[in-house]
Amino acid sequence: MLTADEILSRGRAAFLGLAIGDALGATTEFMNPREIQARHKVHRKICGGGWLGLKPGCVTDDTEMSVAMARAIVDAGGWNLTGIADNFVAWMRGKPIDIGSTCRKGIRNYMLNGVTESPYNEWDAGNGGVMRMLPAALFTLDDDALMQRCVVEQARLTHNHPLSDSACITVGRMIQRAMTGANRFELHAITRELIDRHPNFQFNNYKGNASGYVVDTLQTVFHYLFTTASFEECLVGVVNQGGDADTTGAIAGMIAGAFYGPDAIPDRWSRKLDDAVRQEVLDLAERLVRLSPWGSLWQQ
Ligand code: MN
Ligand code: MN
């Protein structure tokens, strides 16, 4: 059994892991494994660069949208979908370094028409709803039904597709169970439930596709999560696969952060992360977990 403090610190590690995976993976985003190897041998430093020309330790839309959502929940002291959408609008107006086309379309649709659920679109099976879902998982800790509702609502602001919905629920469940002490077999069983419903997500015989298609993204994350034995090796694995590496890094980072906990996160990565980002994600994670059903029980 984990103590309440350990559970809280795993929530913090999940948000820190997300930001670290984003910062680390941005360097190799849209490269292929051969190009990465030629340039870095094995990429394992937060060194910035990449196609965005990022400063070392800076993060991209994956972390920024997560922070925007987390702030909206914390400011409202509860779930507030229009508050989240408003923060996405403010974030987009601030000319972010990167924004996905499906995210842009959904945010514009909210700005112009007040729509908080994008219409179903067969092309919306991108990973943009999953990459930023962590705050919804932290805020709903210990209530699976509430988690399902919130992760899907936030995703559908921009991405309305059953594969995205199912991916969000699966990752949300893995994060929550990992935070409360699940072992790797239990996490693997959660992926089995997803694969039973959507066989596409099968990740045995992983083919190495790491695109922004949510199926490729989760196959990459799951492959490295279950074939490595540490936070560090899991993240090194996904970011050296290239493709949508900042996003596979972010998703692997949130699950592995929750699973391995704060002591498993290399200091050199934590220290390299932008100070303001590190402090804010740790603070927001703690507030979200305290606001959750688990947190309200614990604080009684
Ligand atoms: Mn990104
Ligand atoms: Mn990306």
> Could you tell me the distance, in angstroms and rounded to a whole number, from the CA of residue 224 to the centre of ligand 2?
17
Tally of domains in the chain: 1
Q: Note the pLDDT of residue 255.
A: 99
Distance (angstroms) between ligand 2 centre and the Cα of 288 equals 24
The ligand whose atoms approach the alpha carbon of 212 most closely is 2
pLDDT, one tens digit per residue, over 71-119 is 999 999 999 999 999 999 999 999 999 999 999 999 999 999 999 999 9
User: Using CA of residue 127, residue 74, residue 19, residue 266, what is the dihedral sign?
Assistant: negative
Contact 84, 73 (CB under 8 A): yes
**Please, are residues 262 and 9 in contact by the beta-carbon 8 Å criterion?**
yes
Helix (H, G, I), strand (E, B) or coil at 51: coil
pLDDT of the residue at 123: 85
What digits encode the pLDDT tens for the residues 109-153?
999 999 999 999 998 899 999 999 999 999 999 999 999 999 999
pLDDT at 104: 97
- The pLDDT assigned to 160 comes to 97
The CATH number given to whatever domain includes residue 274 is 1.10.4080.10
d(CA 258, CA 7): 9
Distance 60 CA to ligand 1 centre (A): 4
pLDDT for the residue numbered 300: 80
pLDDT of 157 above 90: yes
Distance CA 298, CA 239 (A): 37
- How many A from CA of 61 to the centre of ligand 1? 5
Tell me how far the alpha carbon of residue 24 lies from the centroid of ligand 2, in angstroms: 11
Distance (Å) from CA 245 to ligand 2 centroid: 6
Cα 22 to averaged position of ligand 2 atoms, centre (Å): 8
Q: How many whole angstroms from 92 Cα to the centroid of ligand 1?
A: 13
Tens-place pLDDT, residues 233-290: 999 999 999 999 999 999 999 999 999 999 999 999 999 999 999 999 999 999 999 9
This prediction's pTM: 0.98
Average pLDDT over residues 193-216: 97
| pLDDT score, position 299 | 84
Q: Compute the distance from residue 52 Cα to the ligand 2 centre, in Å.
A: 11
> Residue 1's pLDDT is what?
84
Percent of the chain at pLDDT above 90?
97
pLDDT above 70: percentage of residues in the chain: 100
Query: Using CA atoms, how far apart are residues 175 and 67, in angstroms rounded to an integer?
Result: 17
Burial of 143 (0-12, 13-18, 19+ CB in 10 A): middle
pLDDT at residue 115, rounded to an integer: 95
Q: What pLDDT was estimated at residue 59?
A: 98
What is the distance in A from the centroid of ligand 1 to the CA of 170? 21
Spatial CB neighbours of 204, under 8 Å, sequence gap ≥ 6: none
Buried residues in 67-103 as b, exposed as e (16+ CB within 10 A): bbbbbbbbeeeebbbebbbebbeebbeeeeeebbebb
Distance (Å) of CA 224 to CA 14, 95, 249, 288: 17, 33, 10, 28
- Between the CA of 249 and the centroid of ligand 1 the distance, in Å, is 10
Ligand 2 center to 64 CA (angstroms) = 12
Q: How far is the CA of 98 from the centre of ligand 2 (A)?
A: 9
How many C-beta atoms surround the C-beta of residue 147 within 10 A?
25
Q: Is residue 300 part of a domain?
A: no
Range of the domain at 24: 4-294
| pLDDT tens-digit map of 9-28 | 999 999 999 999 999 999 99
Structure-token pair, residue 16: 């820190």
In the reported structure, the alpha carbon of residue 1 is separated from the centroid of ligand 1 by a whole-number distance in angstroms of 35
In the reported structure, the alpha carbon of residue 297 is separated from the centroid of ligand 2 by a whole-number distance in angstroms of 36
Ligand 1 centroid to residue 202 C-alpha, Å: 25
The answer, yes or no, to whether residue 218 has pLDDT greater than 90, is yes
DSSP 28: G
> Which ligand is closest to the CA of 52, given by its number?
1
